[in-house]
Amino acid sequence: MSVTENTVRCTAVTHPKVSGKYRAPGSTFDCPAHLVGELLELGAVVLAPAEGPSSAEIEASAKAASKKTDDQSAARLSAIVEAIQKLSPDNPANWTADKKPQVKAIEAIAKFNISAEERDQAVEILNKQAE
């Protein structure tokens, strides 16, 4: 990874002398770019890993974000189920012709917009609970 236009981040493998200093094996330093190719060929250095999160850290973060999204979806669906349960069965404005709850009626109780697909998922949950 270039630190500047003129240097490259390297890790010493042997004891290379770079810019007048011997580098200890395993030490990371900014190597003048014009020397990197030769030092790599000699096996004196390797390119230092790019700074930032490791692939394992990125994967763990992605899994956590996915779980958070799943938790949010479940909480949202739960709120929709609760809103449907609060609808008055006697008010025809709350129901469609095929006896599904009106999306707008659910939204009025839940206080957020929902899709017909979310409504259908919530109705399915309620039907399974009734069985």
- Residue range 3-25, pLDDT digits in tens: 556 888 888 888 888 888 999 88
pLDDT computed for residue 54 by the predictor: 65
Mean pLDDT of 41-61: 76
Weakest-pLDDT range from 28-42, 47-61, 68-82, 105-119: 47-61
The pTM of this model reads: 0.53
1: pLDDT confidence band, cut at 50, 70 and 90? very low
Q: What does the pLDDT read at residue 2? A: 41
- pLDDT given for residue 107 in this prediction: 94
Report helix angle 55-86 to 103-110, nearest 10.
110
Contact by Cβ (8 Å): 93, 105: yes
Placement of tokens 């250095």 in the chain: 45
The ranges assigned to domains in the chain are: 7-47, 63-130
Work out the pLDDT band at 44, boundaries 50, 70, 90.
confident
